């Protein structure tokens, strides 16, 4: 399967990508199309964006070592849904989750 990074689909937007931990500190992403919490397989990742200094440090009590956005490609073995999503400390930093939707 070839890694194609683009924007995530509507299947994961608006709070539809969920996940959780098990008895460990590992986080699992659940397929947004399967109703039984099928765990999606992480296929690939890339450094989407990186900054030497985090642009939010002056506004926050805590300080990040740097600014970054990571992008992941995930795949559901059950329904064959593939998607991408990003995790970042450059975007929205804290507060009420509903403000991001």
- Using one digit for the tens of pLDDT, what is the confidence trace for 47-70? 999 999 988 888 888 898 999 999
Give tens-digit pLDDT for 10-58: 999 988 999 999 999 999 999 999 999 999 999 999 999 999 998 888 8
Query: For the chain, what are the domain ranges?
Result: 18-93
Q: What pTM did the predictor assign?
A: 0.83
Number of other CB atoms surrounding residue 32 within 10 Å = 23
For residues 31 and 38, give the distance between their C-alpha atoms in angstroms, rounded to a whole number. 5
Is the predicted pLDDT of residue 2 greater than 80, yes or no? Answer: no
Look at residue 100 and give its three-state secondary structure.
Answer: helix
* pLDDT, tens only, 67-86: 999 999 999 999 999 999 99
What does 17-62 look like in DSSP terms, one character per residue? -EEEE-SSS-EEEEPSS-TT-PBPEEEEEEEEEEESS-TTGGGSSS
pLDDT on residue 101? 64
């Amino acid at each position: 399967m070839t890694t194609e990074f683009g924007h995530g689909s509507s299947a994961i937007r608006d709070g539809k990508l969920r996940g959780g931990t098990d008895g460990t500190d590992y986080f699992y992403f659940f397929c947004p199309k399967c109703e039984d919490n099928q765990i999606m397989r992480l296929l690939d990742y890339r450094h989407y964006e990186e900054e030497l200094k985090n642009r939010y440090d002056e506004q926050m009590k805590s300080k990040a070592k740097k600014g970054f956005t990571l992008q992941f490609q995930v795949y559901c073995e059950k329904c064959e849904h593939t998607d991408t999503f990003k995790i970042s400390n450059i975007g929205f930093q804290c507060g009420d989750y509903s403000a991001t939707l």
